[in-house]
Amino acid sequence: MGTRPRARERGEAMRRVDTTLWIFWGALALVAGGSALPAQELWFAEGSSLWRLDESGAAAIGDLPGGGFGFAAIPGGGVWVASRDEARLRRFDATGALVLDLVTAAPLQGIAVAADGSVWAARPTLDDIWHVAADGADLGAAPAGDVPYGVAVDRDGRVWATNAFGNSVTRFDPETGDSLAIPVGFFPSHLAAAPDGSIWIAEKEGVRRLSGDGALLAELDAGVFPLGVAVARDGSVWVANQNSHDVSVFSAAGAPLFTIATGAKPHGIAGAGDGSIWVLCRIAGEIRRYASTGLLLEVLPAGYPEGIGDLTGLGHALAVDPDGDADGDGIANGTEAGFGFDPLDATSTPATFIRGDADRSGAVEISDAVAALEHLFGGVANDCPEALDVDDDGSLDLADPIYLLGYLYGSGPAPLSPFPEAGLDPLPMGGYPCAG
Ligand SMILES: [Ca+2]
Ligand SMILES: [Ca+2]
Ligand SMILES: [Ca+2]
Ligand SMILES: [Ca+2]
């Protein structure tokens, strides 16, 4: 018998997690007396300046002669930027200081960082993808069809490039040198790799999802001229439609979810580590942040924000390097995203716990049943409500302390895993976050 919850139960559990997370973050913000924004960075270009948006706001922090087009944030700090008007590839550190300024053989379009820190860049006029080491060393190039625009690296280290004029994508394996051309729809522009290994492609007339093997999984309707593609922390896929001024949102499995209006000419789009999504609206001169539900969270003024690709590093953390630990908090990127925590922020991290140990003393005893009752009926805060859900049914109610008392004083079953040793929640989406 499987233990996987049915889809509806899982959906309800996720909504409960969302609600609990918002309550949690709200409480944290009140305690901290500060912003409700967890740590996050969004990189973009405005004119000939490099901008970074973080908890303290948006600021120009570097010069970007020729502007910026292709962006690839480096998890852990910094960003690569392909110039819009010059044949240049630049690398900046987390403070915005220029680290590398490479003159390239041809202008670049999309760029993407591989798990080893090297960069792949599309060169439309040379019909290839160029490979650059993290220190700027030239590692050569591979053919990529007819006018490559977008580049993505998947979880197996393979490099995908759209052939905008060839109506195909190229999948290149740097380890074997194998190259595969896969026919797609009209004018594929940009693309993104998903954590499940699938590839999402923006085409002039819609959106396409391919398996890692190149098989067609879905052809989907979107708005007018979809361009930017991003994966949110929950795995949903967000596509910016620059001519209908909206965003099409799809489930990780490829089902259409909803469409939301944005400011004029949405272009770059990126998931943030806290679960929200940023959209750069060029003509509107604004940057919008949406919750994963589609709720508009904030609108920030920006002159003409530009940049397409992984503007935050979340795409790299989840789809390219899920086993890595971008924020160094000891929990792998993919694991902590699955728990609903921020893989780019070390202060946001799921904790290990013993189920039933409501007061986190390290032992399960009568005081825990009391603490559970105080939380349920006395409104006493608890930083690990998952530990109180001793029957792990995704619900906190009187049945939990009764279950615990039954175990302590009767012949009732023991709390479910993790018990009696501390551990991570084995089914993170079926309950509550445990922090601290
Ligand atoms: Ca981590
Ligand atoms: Ca974290
Ligand atoms: Ca205890
Ligand atoms: Ca329960």
**What are the pLDDT digits (tens) for 208-236?**
999 999 999 999 999 999 999 999 999 99
Stretch among 12-26, 329-343, 366-380 having the lowest mean pLDDT: 12-26
Cα–Cα dist 181/174, whole Å? 15
What pLDDT does residue 43 have? 97
Domain definitions of the chain by residue range: 7-35+349-430, 42-337
* C-alpha of residue 361 to centroid of ligand 3, in Å: 4
Q: Which ligand lies nearest the alpha carbon of 344?
A: 2
Count CB-CB contacts under 10 A for residue 64. Answer: 26
* C-alpha of residue 273 to centroid of ligand 4, in Å: 29
Count CB-CB contacts under 10 A for residue 209. Answer: 20
Q: Which residues surround the ion ligand 4 when the cut-off is CB under 5 Å?
A: 389, 391, 393, 395, 400
The label of the residue with tokens 């060169």 reads 123
Full-model pTM: 0.82
Q: Which ligand lies nearest the alpha carbon of 390?
A: 4
Whether 7 shows a pLDDT value over 60: the answer reads no
Cα–Cα dist 53/55, whole Å? 7
What pLDDT does residue 84 have? 95
* Mean pLDDT in residue range 401-413: 94
Q: Which CATH class is domain 7-35+349-430?
A: mainly alpha
Whether 435 shows a pLDDT value over 90: the answer reads no
Q: Which ligand lies nearest the alpha carbon of 323?
A: 1
Q: What share of the chain has pLDDT > 70, as a percent?
A: 90
Whether 374 shows a pLDDT value over 70: the answer reads yes
What pLDDT does residue 27 have? 36
* C-alpha of residue 282 to centroid of ligand 2, in Å: 31
* Mean pLDDT in residue range 385-399: 93
* C-alpha of residue 113 to centroid of ligand 1, in Å: 18
Q: Which two tokens stand for residue 297?
A: 């969270």
Q: Which CATH class is domain 42-337?
A: mainly beta
Q: Which ligand lies nearest the alpha carbon of 75?
A: 1
pLDDT band at 430 (very low <50, low <70, confident <90, very high): low
Stretch among 57-61, 138-142, 218-222 having the lowest mean pLDDT: 57-61
Q: Which residues surround the ion ligand 3 when the cut-off is CB under 5 Å?
A: 357, 359, 361, 368
The label of the residue with tokens 């740097």 reads 174
What pLDDT does residue 417 have? 94
* C-alpha of residue 433 to centroid of ligand 2, in Å: 13
* C-alpha of residue 329 to centroid of ligand 1, in Å: 5
* C-alpha of residue 208 to centroid of ligand 1, in Å: 31
pLDDT band at 38 (very low <50, low <70, confident <90, very high): very low
* C-alpha of residue 375 to centroid of ligand 3, in Å: 14
Cα–Cα dist 162/427, whole Å? 37
CB-based contacts of 263, cutoff 8 Å, min separation 6: 245, 279, 281, 283, 284, 285, 286, 288, 299
